[in-house]
Amino acid sequence: MNGDMDKVSADKVEDDDMGKQVIVGICAMAKKSESKSMIEILTRLDDFEQIKTTVFPEDTILKLPVELWPRCDCLISFHSKGFPLEKARAYAELTKPFIINNMDVQHELQDRRNVYSTLEREGIMLPRFAVLDRDSPDPKLHELIESEDHVEVNGVIFNKPFVEKPVCAENHNIYIYYPTSAGSGSQRLFRKIGSRSSVYSPETRVRKSGSFIYEDFMPTDGTDVKVYTVGPDYAHAEARKSPALDGKVERDPEGKEVRYPVILSGAEKLIARKVCLAFKQTVCGFDLLRANGKSYVCDVNGFSFVKNSSKYYDDCARILGNMILRELAPTLHIPWNASFQLDDPPIVPTTFGKMMELRCVVGVIRHGDRTPKQKMKMEVRHTKFFELFQKYGGTPTSNVKLKRPKQLQEMLDIARFLLSGGQNAENKDVEIEEKRRKLEQLKSVLEMYGYFAGINRKVQLKYQPKGRPRASSSDDDSPQEPSLVLILKWGGELTPAGRISAEELGKIFRFMYPGGQGLGLLRLHSTYRHDLKIYASDEGRVQMTAAAFAKGLLALEGELTPILVQMVKSAHTNGLLDNDSESSKFQRQGKQKLHDLMQQDKELTPEDMERINPCHAQSINVALQFIKNPHKLCERVLGLIHKLVQHIQTKCDDPMSKDAVLYHGENWDLMARRWAKLEKDFKTKGKFDISKVPDIYDCIKYDIQHNSHAIGFYKAEELFNCAKYLADVVIPQEYGLTQIDKLAIAQGICTPLLKKIQADLQSNIGEPEPADESVNRLNPRYSHGVSSPDRHVKTRLYFTSESHIHSLLNVIRFGGLANKKLDEQWSRAMEYLCVVNELNYLTQIVIMLYEDPTKDPSSEERFHVELHFSPGTTCCVHKTVPPGPGFRPTSLFSTAVISGQSPAIPCEDLKSFMLATPPNGSPTEKVRDETMLPSLETLHNALALKQLDSFLEHVVTTNYRPAALSSSTSSLQTASQGCNGSSGSEQNGHRSHARQTTLKMKQ
C-alpha cells in the first residue's frame, strides 16, 4: 500500500511540474479506453497545449480504492461490460471533477424501460410499444396472450411482424417475429460475431421467461441510422444495412463494416439535441429508424464514438477541448483564447475588409469532365425490333425509350442474333447485311463496360409509317412501308477524372466558410447552423458531379450512389435546371445566322467580324483573327480529321497497338467510328455544318486529355488549336449574336433558376419561407446555449450543363446589374469576362450574401453581396487563363478583377490527381500536371441586396425581343443601351426598392 501511496505522491509532483494544464482523466475499461477511436481523439485532445490526458489503468479501476485513483480536473467515464459504475460514481463524488457524461444517468441507460420512459417524457417519437415486466409483483404488468399472428401484452395487441427486446440494455438478443403470410419464424439479432449479426429461426413462439419490450416493427427499407452527438449542437450520422435484413455484415476490403453518410433533417437534429440533453450524455450514440416519413428513436447507447472517420475525430476533439477549457480555464487561471466555436455567429472578413456575418452562399456549377456525347441512327424493319417496340408500349404516335438494363439487354440480344445469321437462311434479310456495320456498332456500344447502369446508354425507337423521308435517308429510295428509326445515344457521362476533380473542388469550396483550414464548414454543417440543399438536372453526368462535389464538401466516405440518393435533389420537375433550348425559335434563328456567317470562303473583313461579334468580346476577336477564312479553316480541320481517322485505323490494325488501353472502356473500333462520323457529318453537299464544331472540339480535347498516350498522333495539337478557335466563336455565339439576342435566349433558358436564386437571397431578410424550407433551421424553443439560433448559413448549390452557365453569364454581362461607366470595378469585371474564351467543366458562378446585424434592417448597408466567377478547368494544351492574385492565401479566391494586379497561382491542390481504375480494369492513369482549376475571380464585392433583387426581377419580367423579330431598330437600340449602360435599378425607375419578393419557389 505504501508503494501505491508513493506513486500517487509522485504523480502529484509530476502534475505540478506540468505547469498550468487541465488534466483530463479517462476512466473506462481497457477495451474502450485503448480502442482506435479513443486513441485518435485523445491524440487530438493532447494537441491543445492547455490539456493533458491521462488514462486510468484498468487494474487501478478494478482493484484500488477510489482514494488512490489518479486525480483529474475533468472526467470522461462511461460504462461497458465489467465496468464498476458505482465505484466511478463514488470517485466523482469524492473529487468533484468536471463531468463530460453524467454517470447517474448511465445507470438508467442499462435498462431499456428507463430509456423508453425518458424518451416518452421528452416527446421523442418511439415505435408503439408495451412493457412485459415479469420482474414486477403486479400481475397486470406481465399479462401475455399469444396467438399465431399476434401477441397481446397487458391488453395491447401487436400484430406480426413485431420486435421483442430484453429490458436489459446489455442483452442484444433481440427477436423479430414474422407472420404466417410471410413464412412465419423469427430473425434473431445478436452482437456482431465475425460477418454475422443475426440468423433466421423457424421458431415462432415468443420467449416465456424474462422481461421484454414489445414494439411494432418499422418498415425502414433495410437501413438503420446511427447518430452520434458531441454536445447538444453537433450530430454525425451514418447508415448501415439493418441487421434484421439478412444478418450478413457488409464489410469493406479492410474488414470494416460498410456505413454510408447520412444528412439529418432539421427534425432529426432536434431529436439528437433532445437525446443528448435528456440523458445528460455529451458524447452519445443512439439509433434512428426512418419509416412512414418520420423518424423514431429505438435505442440509446450512451457513450459511443464513430469508427474510422478522421473528420469526426477532429470535430469531437475540438468540441470537447473547447468545452473543457471554456468550463475550467477561468477557474484554474489558465490563459486561453477561445477559437471559432460551433455556436458562434459565422463572422468572416469580406473582400473589402469589413467583418460581417455570412448568411447565404449560392453556387451554379457546370458538370465535370465527361466522355464525348455520341449518337447513331439507323432505319430498321426486322420483326424483332417491332416486337420490342410493341412490348414497351410503342404505337404509331408514341415513341419508345429504352434505358433500363433489362431493356438494353433485350436490344443487345437482337443485335447479336441478327449479326450471327440467326435469321432463317432461306429468307436472308438483305437489309441486315447492308446495315451490318451499324448493327456491329450497336452491339459494341451495348457491350461497353460489361454492364448496364441505366444512365450511360439509351435507345429510342420511332415509328415511321412510310419509312424515313428521302431527305433524311442516304441508304435507299424510302420504300412505302412502315419502319422504325433506331436512335442510339451514349457517352456524355462523368469520367473518373471528372469525378475526382469535382470532389476536390468540393473540398476547396469549404474555405469560403468561417473556421480555419476549411474545417469550419464541416462543423457548421453538423450543427443546426447550416442549411444545405444541392440540386442537379436530370442528366447522369450532372447528378454524379453534384454527388462527388458533396462528398468532397462534407468529407463524406464511400460510394457516390448513396450520397446521390440522399443528398442531391432532382430539379427536372419545374424546369429549374433542365431546358428545351433547342426548340427555342430565338436560338434556332441565331444559329442559322451564325451558320451562314461562318460559311464564307474569303478573308473576314472588319464588317464581317462585326456581324459575327457585335458585342466585341475580346476572346472572339482573337479567335476570328486566327480563323481569317472560315471555309478554309474548316477544310483544314476536315483534312486533319481525315488523317486522324486513317491513323486510328492503322493503330487498330497493328498487332502491336490494337490491344492498347483506351480511356474509360472505349476500344479502337468505337474511337474510329466516333471520328469517322464527325468526318462524314462535318461537310455535306459542299457546305460545312458549323453545329458540329463543338463536337469536334469536345472529341479532340477528350483524346488529347485522356488518350494521347495511345494515339500518338503528331498533328493532334494542331487539330485541337484549329477546333478550339472555331469553338471559341461558335459556342458562345450559339446563345445569341447581339446583346438582345443573348438576353432573350438566356431568359428562355434560365428564368426558373433566376427566380429561385432571387427567392434564396430574399429568404434571409425575413420573408416567410415554404414549409419544407424551414426544416433545417433550429427551433428557438430548443436553442438554449446557442447564440442567435434563428441565424444560420444557407447554402444552395445548382449543378447544371453548359446552356445554363452561358445563359446566366449573359444575364450578368448584359442585363444591367451595374453601370460600367460609373463603376470602375464593374468595368474591370466586364473586361475580364470579355477575355474568357471558354466556360469549361466545373465553371462556377457564386453569390455570397453577408449581413451586418448592427445596421438598421432597412439600410442599404445591412446586407452585402459579393459575386464571384471561375471559368472552370483548363486543358493540357490551352493553359492560359485570365490573371488574378489571391487575396485570401488559404482560400480559392482571387481579386484579379477588383485590383487589376498580376497573375495568381492556381490552386495547387488540383494541379494533378490520380484517376480511378476504369470499368474495363485497365491501370490507373495520371492526369497531366497542367490540368487544374483556376481560382475564383471576384466580379464585384460591394453590391447591395436590393440592387441585386431589382436586377433579377427586371431580367425575368422584361420582354426581350431579338432583332429578327423587332418591328423597329429603336426598340433594339433602347434595349441594348439598357444592357450596356444603365443599372438594373435605374431601368426599373418606379419599382420600389423596398419590395419584398412573394415568390414561393419549391425548395
pLDDT digits (tens, 9 = 90+) for 585-595: 778 888 889 99
The pLDDT confidence band at residue 991, using thresholds 50, 70 and 90, is very low
Q: Looking at residues 806-828, what average pLDDT do you find?
A: 93
Question: Strand 893-894 vs strand 936-944: parallel, antiparallel, or unpaired?
Answer: parallel
The pLDDT confidence band at residue 930, using thresholds 50, 70 and 90, is very low
Q: What pLDDT is stored for residue 656 in this prediction? A: 85
Q: What pLDDT is stored for residue 934 in this prediction? A: 61
Q: Looking at residues 230-239, what average pLDDT do you find?
A: 89
> Nine-digit cell at 162?
413485431
As a whole-number percent, the residues of the chain with pLDDT over 90 amount to 48
Q: What pLDDT is stored for residue 573 in this prediction? A: 47
Looking at the chain, which residues constitute the CATH 3.30.470.20 domain(s)?
Answer: 105-126+219-306, 128-217
pLDDT score of 561 more than 80: no
The pLDDT confidence band at residue 565, using thresholds 50, 70 and 90, is low
Looking at the chain, which residues constitute the CATH 3.40.50.11950 domain(s)?
Answer: 20-99+309-339
- Considering the four listed CATH numbers 3.30.470.20, 3.40.50.300, 3.20.20.70, 3.30.420.80, the one that applies to the domain covering 105-126+219-306 is 3.30.470.20
- Could you tell me what percentage of the chain is helix, strand and coil, using 3-state DSSP and rounding each to the nearest 5? 40, 20, 40
20-99+309-339 in CATH: which number?
3.40.50.11950
> Nine-digit cell at 910?
488540383
Residue 96 CB coordination number (10 Å): 9
Q: What pLDDT is stored for residue 347 in this prediction? A: 59
pLDDT digits (tens, 9 = 90+) for 191-205: 888 888 888 889 999
CB distance 427 to 372 below 8 Å: no
| Identity of the residue numbered 213 | I
pLDDT score of 141 more than 50: yes
- The chain-wide mean pLDDT, for the chain, equals 80
185-194, 286-295, 354-363, 419-428: least confidently modelled range? 419-428
Q: What pLDDT is stored for residue 812 in this prediction? A: 96
pLDDT score of 180 more than 90: no
Q: What pLDDT is stored for residue 804 in this prediction? A: 93
- Going by the DSSP 8-state scheme, the letter that residue 249 receives in this structure is P
Q: What pLDDT is stored for residue 995 in this prediction? A: 32
Backbone angles phi, psi at 814, to 5 degrees: -115, 0
Q: Looking at residues 903-929, what average pLDDT do you find?
A: 31
Measured distance CA(290)–CA(293) in Å, rounded? 7
pLDDT digits (tens, 9 = 90+) for 15-45: 443 458 999 999 999 999 999 999 999 999 9
pLDDT digits (tens, 9 = 90+) for 960-979: 876 554 433 333 333 333 33
pLDDT score of 770 more than 60: no
pLDDT score of 582 more than 60: no
Q: What pLDDT is stored for residue 284 in this prediction? A: 96
The pLDDT confidence band at residue 776, using thresholds 50, 70 and 90, is very low
348-368+497-578+784-887+932-947 in CATH: which number?
3.40.50
The pLDDT confidence band at residue 74, using thresholds 50, 70 and 90, is very high
Q: What pLDDT is stored for residue 1 in this prediction? A: 43
Bigger pLDDT: 981 or 404? Answer: 404
The pLDDT confidence band at residue 422, using thresholds 50, 70 and 90, is low
- Whether the predicted model's global pTM rises above the 0.75 cut: no
pLDDT digits (tens, 9 = 90+) for 689-738: 999 999 999 999 999 999 988 888 899 999 999 999 999 999 999 999 99
Q: What pLDDT is stored for residue 566 in this prediction? A: 66
128-217 in CATH: which number?
3.30.470.20
Q: What pLDDT is stored for residue 690 in this prediction? A: 94
pLDDT score of 288 more than 60: yes
CB distance 137 to 130 below 8 Å: no
pLDDT digits (tens, 9 = 90+) for 864-910: 899 999 999 887 665 555 554 333 323 444 555 555 443 332 333 33
pLDDT digits (tens, 9 = 90+) for 605-634: 999 999 999 999 999 999 999 999 999 999
Q: What pLDDT is stored for residue 780 in this prediction? A: 34
CB under 8 Å to 729, separation ≥6 — which residues? 598, 612, 613, 620, 623, 624, 627
Q: Looking at residues 48-62, what average pLDDT do you find?
A: 95
| Identity of the residue numbered 739 | Q
pLDDT score of 793 more than 90: no
CB distance 461 to 399 below 8 Å: yes
pLDDT score of 530 more than 70: yes
The pLDDT confidence band at residue 355, using thresholds 50, 70 and 90, is confident
Q: What pLDDT is stored for residue 374 in this prediction? A: 85
pLDDT score of 956 more than 70: yes
Q: What pLDDT is stored for residue 3 in this prediction? A: 47
Measured distance CA(972)–CA(739) in Å, rounded? 9
pLDDT score of 104 more than 90: yes
Extract long-range pairs of 948-951: CB within 8 Å, 24+ residues apart: 948/761, 948/817, 948/847, 948/865, 949/758, 949/761, 949/762, 949/995, 949/997, 950/984, 950/985, 950/988, 950/991, 950/993, 950/995, 951/815, 951/816, 951/817, 951/983, 951/984, 951/985
The pLDDT confidence band at residue 181, using thresholds 50, 70 and 90, is confident
pLDDT score of 787 more than 80: no
Question: Strand 162-166 vs strand 530-536: parallel, antiparallel, or unpaired?
Answer: unpaired
pLDDT score of 427 more than 80: no
> How far, CA to CA in Å, does 951 sit from each of 758, 811, 818, 866?
10, 10, 9, 14
- Going by the DSSP 8-state scheme, the letter that residue 435 receives in this structure is T
Q: Looking at residues 789-815, what average pLDDT do you find?
A: 88
pLDDT digits (tens, 9 = 90+) for 429-488: 556 666 888 898 898 888 876 666 555 688 999 999 877 655 444 445 545 688 999 999
CB distance 300 to 115 below 8 Å: yes
Q: What pLDDT is stored for residue 429 in this prediction? A: 58
E strands, 549-603, in order: 568-570
Q: Looking at residues 572-583, what average pLDDT do you find?
A: 58
CB distance 792 to 532 below 8 Å: no
Measured distance CA(866)–CA(825) in Å, rounded? 12
Q: Looking at residues 216-220, what average pLDDT do you find?
A: 86
Q: What pLDDT is stored for residue 468 in this prediction? A: 62
Directed axis angle between helix 824-835 and helix 618-627, to 10°?
30
Q: What pLDDT is stored for residue 221 in this prediction? A: 65
Backbone angles phi, psi at 370, to 5 degrees: -130, 165
